[in-house]
Structures are given as structure tokens and as C-alpha cells.
Chains A and B, each alone.
Chain A
Amino acid sequence: MSLPDAPADDLVLEGLTKKFGTFVAVDDLDLTVPQGAFFALLGPSGCGKTTTLRMVAGLEDATSGTIRLGSDDITHRKPYRRPVNTVFQSYALFPHLTIFENVAFGLRRQGRKDVKGAVDDMLELVELGEYAGRKPAQLSGGQQQRVALARALINRPQVLLLDEPLGALDLKLRRQMQIELKRIQVEVGITFVHVTHDQEEAMTMADTVAVMNAGVIEQMGSPIELYEHPNTTFVANFLGQSNLICGTVVATSGARVHVEVEGAKVQAPPGVSGTESGEVWVGVRPEKLNLSEAGSEPDGGSNVLRDGRVTDVSFIGVSTQYIARMPWGQELMVFEQNTGARSPYRVGDAVDLHWSPDHTFLLDPAQDVTAGVEREDAL
């Protein structure tokens, strides 16, 4: 008998902590992954996302805290007794076994009947039926990735863990596999927990993204929520790019927060930002900014920052990326769609920057303005 509001088989992490010596890899993590969700743990390398995943798989012991699946506490259960399977980053296919035997491995260990039928069906699902007799080394990277997925999925785990499963694939194949993974997740309806450092991958695939940094979750929500209303400088910079300008909140009326920025008055929507009083970082995404000739009058109600000077123009094709130096010395990024409405600005042009108040977010001034800025060498 189950209670009327009994939790579904959600994956619930409570106070989960992992220390390696004095280094805290995962710090008092609370997280609920609803059953059937496609959940992404997004963060830079070393942020603790893989450690979290390994604790759920049972490959790493939690220092403290609990891991529950529905009403089962699985914190201290052996990995081979958990209804959880993993798609490993390196695939970890058994090189001495055929594709068929790799996929059949989990079923055979559980003593299941009709292994042949189940494996054939699963290989069909990942479109590798004709490769059943080959060894992993005879397959391409993308095919091996699909075998790793099939080998885990065939066990119908309650939760499927994916540890950077597409990291070893080239860009084109990765895009293709992202769509494929999404299709399969919808088809089988199993909870997917996907660990990645690729923000684009997390946003395209997951319905819920948790951004992790230094062992804690910075912010969690749908990709749109996270992108449009980041609550920390880390999220603002790690998910896409942001212009962050120093400002001071001067008043809060019902529908708008009024902020003074370097002599200009701008407005932000209330109730969605990380902070709403005193000193703040005023944030706006580069593609939300519009450029106009200096001195022109923008639409009523827009936020305007005047007297910028274009210092760099990169023509990308679909868009043009500008860097504009503001009177107070800060350089702001502006992405403009290449609609062809007018010819692009050139270096040295004087411009005004304006944007809708709804696209403004405010952040805690104590936070590092460069947190989460992606560096090439960090990847």
C-alpha cells in the first residue's frame, strides 16, 4: 500500500558530501531529480559533477549525506546492487567481448531469460543490429558510444547516468548523438542524469539543468530560466556570455527596480534576480543589446547607455559581434543579427547601447565578475 502523496521514484540527494583528504569535491549537496527527467549537471572540470555521479553509481563512497531512490536509501549499497547504470566517458566497453556480449553483460549477471531477444531489440534501437558479432575495437567512436548506451539501457535502470558521454566525439557526430539521446530518452522514459561541461549540450538536451561550481550547485532550473535570469555571476558567464556593469539600486517601484549605472538610469524587472538592493552587478546578454548612432532617440522605456565607441567588429555571418568601449572604460559585447537592415558599424563609430528592461538581471556585487568565464585552456 502506498501513501496518496508517496514520492515517485525520484532520485534525491541530501547533504551529500565527498572529501578527498582535505579537498572537498562535493559540498553538502541537496538535489532532487524527478522521475523521468532529463537532468543535466553542468559545470567546469573539477567542479564535483563527476564525483556526484560516481557516488550515485556507487563507485565512490559518500563522506556524508544520503542518496535515495524513491523510498530506498542506496547510499551504502554496493554498485552492483543498485538499479542504476552508467554510460562511461571512455565507454569502458569490454574489449574481449563481442558487441552482443557487451550489451548482454548486465542481463546475464542478473540471470535474465531471453537475453538474445532483448539484446537484438536493444541493438536495433541504437541501430547497430548488424554489428552484433564484432569487437568494440572494430567500431567507430560514435558506434562505440551507442554500444555503451545500449549496454546500460538494456537493464532498464531506474536512473541512467551519463558521464560526458559525447566528449570523445567530433562536433558533427556530437550534435547527431544529442538528438539521438534525446529521442531514446523520450522513448524509454528512464530518468537520465547527464554530466557535462558543455553548456550548449546541457541546454539542448536537458529539461532541467543544475549548474555546479566548486562542489555546490549555483543554480538549477530550465535552460531558459537559467539563461534569461542567472542568479550568480558564475551562471551568467558560464552559460553563454554576459555584460556585467557596476551599479546601485536607487528605488524599487512595483513593476521596476531602478538602478543607477555610471550616471545613467536603467530599469530591471523585480523578483527574478539574485539581489535587489544596494550595490549590484547589472547584467545583460550581448544579443539583447542594440546599437544605434550616438544621440539617436531609442524606443520609450528602453535602458540606454550612451557614448560608446566601437573598438572591434567581427563579422560571423549570421551575426556581427561588436565590442564597444564605454565612457567609463569598460568594454561591452554586442551581438547583432545580420538582418541586412543597415550596414554594419565600423571601428571608431560612436554608438548608443539600448535594451529592454525585461532583459536586465541584477547580481550580488560581492561575486567575482569573471567567475565562470570560459577559457580555452580550461577545456
Chain B
Amino acid sequence: MSAASLLSTTPVASASKRGASRTAYILLLLPLLWLFVFFVIPLVSLVSTSLYDPAGSLETGYAMTGHVQNYVSVLADYRSHILRSFAYAAAATIACIVLGYPLAYAIAFKAGRWKNLMLVAVIAPFFTSFLIRTLSWQMLLGDQAWFADALRFVHILGPDGHLLATPFAVVTGLTYNFLPFMVLPLYTSLEKVDPRLMEAGSDLYASPITTFAKVTLPLSMPGLVAGTLLTFIPAAGDYINAELLGNPRTQMIGNVIQNLFEGGSYPEAAALSVTLMAVIVVMVLVYIRRAGTEELL
């Protein structure tokens, strides 16, 4: 190769490479702008709001005093709400796994030609608004509904027992509303598991249960982790289910934040929001580390 051709090709090659990376940056620009406007700015605003002096009001305005005390006071006042939120979210997540795993497994391996129909059935509830579906559960769980009647009839529920306005109703609502978020990632993971691996397991002296534990379950972990996150995180911050299906003693952190905002206590509401966010981020990091699925991040 001559020196002239070296000189002529190299700049062209690097220029086209530079051109490619410039295109990448241009393409990234819009999402980055979007993230900045709708995530970074609100986040900064939220954190700074949480540090305002709580003595102010919407009418008088708030003074930025770096009032870290906000965090101490909301933690003291609403500790039980925070714990309850995570307890309900955990219960709903576990219920989603118990209901969703067999369902996803059946769709992935047993549904045959019904596979697509079953997937549509999982997604179909989204065609109706979240609010309407939760209101329907009010009817279903109401004192006069056949479900409560049936439970009373078999004496699982006392003569003046309720289903509605109980922790059970709230967790049921959360489970119902977030079940598809568990089923879909689980299905995607299970669908990728080669059934021949299960045959290999049984060929190598593993009973069906052992094959599940040693082969299928580990291979579906990415789906299980994703499903858990997609269920647990929104469930922990949810307030609709507790509002519509619960009672004042089943209020979750979401309800408190909403009430504080409506009551004009912006700094406390913001402090509580930041706290919720921080706790969830820490929990998610620990969980992913534990589940050994760092590649999700």
C-alpha cells in the first residue's frame, strides 16, 4: 500500500466513524432532553421542596431553609404507613407470584394454540381504566355480593364480617391490578426456556420437581426479578386501592402523600416522596444483587 493511499483512506474512515457517533449523539439528544425536563428538573424540584421551611403555605410562599428536620418528622409521624405500604406491596407481590407463575408457565409450555388468546386475556383488563376496575372490586367484595355471602355461608367469614374495607381487600386490589406486570415478564422468560433442557434434566435423574428447581426456575429468574420489581415498586406507592377498597386504618404511604399535598403541606409531602423513592431504590439494589441478575441493570 502506498503512502498516498494510506493518507487518503484513513481520514475518510475516521470521519465516517466520527459521523456515526455524531448520529448516535443526535439520536440520544431528544430522549436526554425529555429525561432532563421530565425527570431531572422535577426531581431537583422535589428534593428542594422537601427542604423548605414547613411554616410557609401556598399563599405566603415557602422559604428555602435546608430544613432537614422535615425528614425526621415525617418518618416519626408516618412510620407505620411506610411499613404498612411495604407489607401490603410485599403481600401483593407474593400473591402475584403464586398466581402468576403457574399461569405464565401454562401459557409458555402448555397452552399450544391457545397461547396468543391467553396472552390477550392477560392484557385485556388494560382496555378498561384502572379506576373503573378497582371500583368494580368494590362491588365484588361488597357485603351484599355473592362472594361475601358464600364465605359467610361456609363460615369462613363471621355473620357480620366484611371483605371490603379490610387489608384483605386492599391486597386483593393490588394483586389484581399488578398481576399482568408479573405474568408478562415471567412468560417472556419462561418462553425462552428450551423444553429440551427439561428433558435433559429428567434424563439426568432429576424428578420433575427437581428439574423445576434446578433448571426451569433458575432460567426464569430474570423474568421473576423483573416481574417482582414491576409489581412491588408501583404497589408500594399506590393509593387508589387503599382509597377505594380500604379504610382509614389501611392507608398507605401514597394516601398520606396525596393528603399532605392536598392539605398544602408541600415540604412534608415532598420529604415523604423522597424517602419512599430512596427506600425503594435501596431495596431494589439489594434484591437484584441477591437474585444474581445484575445484568438487568
**Interface presence of A106 (CB below 8 A):** yes
Min CB–CB distance A180 → chain B (angstroms): 21
Min CB–CB distance A137 → chain B (angstroms): 13
Min CB–CB distance A85 → chain B (angstroms): 6
Q: Are the C-beta atoms of A78 and B197 separated by less than 8 Å?
A: no
Return the CB mask of A87-104 against B: 1 if under 8 Å, else 0: 010101111100000000
Which residues of B lie under 8 Å from residue A155 when comparing CB positions? 204-205
**Docked complex: A63-94 residues within 8 A CB-CB of B:** 78-81, 84-86, 88, 90, 92-94
Interface size class of A (residues with CB under 8 A): 20 to 34
Q: Tell me which of A78, A85, A92 has the highest count of chain B C-beta atoms within 10 A of its own C-beta.
A: A92
Q: Are the C-beta atoms of B206 and A96 separated by less than 8 Å?
A: no
Min CB–CB distance A197 → chain B (angstroms): 19
**Interface presence of A110 (CB below 8 A):** yes
Q: Are the C-beta atoms of A96 and B219 separated by less than 8 Å?
A: yes
Q: Are the C-beta atoms of A59 and B202 separated by less than 8 Å?
A: yes
Contact of A88 among B199, B210, B219 (CB under 8 A): B199
The count of chain B contact residues (Cβ–Cβ below 8 Å) is 17
Contact of A95 among B199, B207, B210, B219 (CB under 8 A): B219
Q: Are the C-beta atoms of A88 and B205 separated by less than 8 Å?
A: no
Q: Tell me which of B194, B201, B203, B206 has the highest count of chain A C-beta atoms within 10 A of its own C-beta.
A: B203
Q: Are the C-beta atoms of B202 and A78 separated by less than 8 Å?
A: yes
**Interface presence of A131 (CB below 8 A):** no
Min CB–CB distance B189 → chain A (angstroms): 12
Q: Are the C-beta atoms of A109 and B205 separated by less than 8 Å?
A: yes
Q: Are the C-beta atoms of A90 and B206 separated by less than 8 Å?
A: no
Min CB–CB distance B204 → chain A (angstroms): 4
**Docked complex: B175-223 residues within 8 A CB-CB of A:** 194, 196-197, 199-207, 210, 214-215, 218-219
Which residues of A lie under 8 Å from residue B207 when comparing CB positions? 78, 80
CA distance A55 to B150 in the complex (A): 49
**Interface presence of A345 (CB below 8 A):** no
Q: Are the C-beta atoms of B202 and A88 separated by less than 8 Å?
A: no
Q: Are the C-beta atoms of B219 and A90 separated by less than 8 Å?
A: no
A82 closest partner in B (C-beta): B203
A106-B205 in contact given A96-B218, A96-B219 (Cβ < 8 Å): yes
Question: Could you list some 8 contacts between A and B, CB below 8 A?
Answer: A58-B202, A58-B203, A79-B203, A80-B207, A86-B200, A90-B196, A93-B200, A105-B204
